Amino acid sequence: MFPYIGGKKQHSKWIDPFFPEDANTYVEVFGGAMWMYWMSGKLPVDKNVYNDFNRHLANVFLCCSSDPVKMEQTCFKYYQDIGNGDKFIEYRDEAFAIYGTNFAIPDYDLAAKYMLLQLQIFSGGNGLTATTKMYHNENYKPKFKTFTEKFQQVRYLDKLKHLTIENMDCRDLIRKYDSKDTFFYVDPPYYKLESYYTEDDFGKMDHLELIDMLKNTKGRWALSYYHFDELETMLPKTKYHWHEEVTYTNNGLKKQENAWRKDGKLGTGVRPERTELLIMNYDPNEVLKPANNFEELFDVG
């Protein structure tokens, strides 16, 4: 629904064909901006669950799905703050002061302010942090306005209506929704080898526990990942179905030989390459169909 670090919008076209069509319940365990849900023509199904551990994001999705008109009107109130660096810092500090607490939701003003913060920052950076400052370029339409326009689009309104919102740790969520008719799409934060436990991050032990849990679910799941050493031991290719997709990134995360010129600079028009994984506990050949994607039919920017 909006640009988000790690969002799967650009990847939805190759991931969607692997999604089953016969699940009764669809669960995005690490919701973020929930791009697979918006992009897939196979969704919604009977029950569609958004979950994120970040209560601000859960609040945004709860407000958008419970009363999109009220959410749109609340966003209008904050148009006057686009480009106002002082207001940005005031809202940012307000959001971070309650981050990690159990604040009351839905809160429409808080949701609109949080979206203003999420969207009026430099898109090439590290996302919203407690020290981020406002980015606003008068030559471009503010992303906050583009987000607000989604409330006029039937496609979004229809999908919003079908959402159930959760705000819990991924493990509790999987326990709550696991059944043979559930399909989990699992897109955890980037695997950081160096961190076993950190205050806020999803550390190495969290990844290992998540994988252990997934191995014992009744439901089907598809897990988005990058390679790391333990992965093939934990989810052996003989038992799970692996799909490897070579993709291109604009953010230069990985230096590729052919992306660099002799003078050591990044060649123009060349994007570094990396391999994305989709690991499944079901046979994708039973569900594979050509991409069933709404991108060509709708403006989904």
**H or E element at residue 77:** helix 68-77
Using CB under 6 A as the binding rule, whether residue 16 contacts ligand SAM is answered as: no
Burial of 3 (0-12, 13-18, 19+ CB in 10 A): middle
The dihedral over CA atoms of 15, 63, 95, 38, expressed in degrees to the nearest 10, equals 10
CA dihedral 105, 109, 112, 118 (to 10 degrees): -70
- Does 169 interact with ligand SAM (rule: CB under 6 A)? yes
Q: Measure the CA–CA gap between 54 and 99, rounded to whole angstroms.
A: 8
Residue with the CB atom nearest ligand SAM in the bound state: 32
170, 222, 278, 280: which one binds ligand SAM (CB under 6 A): 170
Residue choice 17, 20, 54, 84 for contact with ligand SAM (CB under 6 A): 54
Pick out residues in 90-109 that bind ligand SAM (CB under 6 A). none
| Residue nearer to ligand SAM on the CB measure, 144 or 225 | 225
Exposed / middle / buried, residue 144 (Cβ in 10 Å: 0-12, 13-18, 19+) = buried
Cα atoms in the Cβ-side hemisphere of radius 13 Å centred on 220: 20
Does 8 bind ligand SAM (CB under 6 A)? Our answer is: yes
Task: Note whether 33 binds ligand SAM by CB under 6 A.
Answer: yes
Instruction: Find the shortest distance in angstroms from Cβ 2 to ligand SAM.
Output: 9
Identify residues 197-236 at the interface with ligand SAM (CB under 6 A): 202
Q: Cβ closer to ligand SAM: 76 or 248?
A: 248
Integer Cα distance of 60 and 99 in angstroms: 14
Q: Radius of gyration over alpha carbons of the chain, in Å? A: 20
Asked if 1 touches ligand SAM (CB under 6 A), the answer is no
Residue 147 in contact with ligand SAM, rule: CB under 6 A: no
Tell me: does residue 30 bind ligand SAM (CB under 6 A).
Answer: yes
Span from 33-41, 101-109, 141-149, 272-280 in contact with ligand SAM (CB under 6 A): 33-41
Q: How many residues bind ligand SAM (CB under 6 A)?
A: 18
Give the H/E segment covering residue 223. strand 220-225
Structure tokens at 200: 């806020």
Return the range that interacts with ligand SAM (CB under 6 A); candidates 5-13, 14-22, 132-140, 211-219.
5-13
Residues that bind ligand SAM (CB under 6 A): 4, 6-8, 30, 32-35, 51-54, 169-170, 187, 189, 202
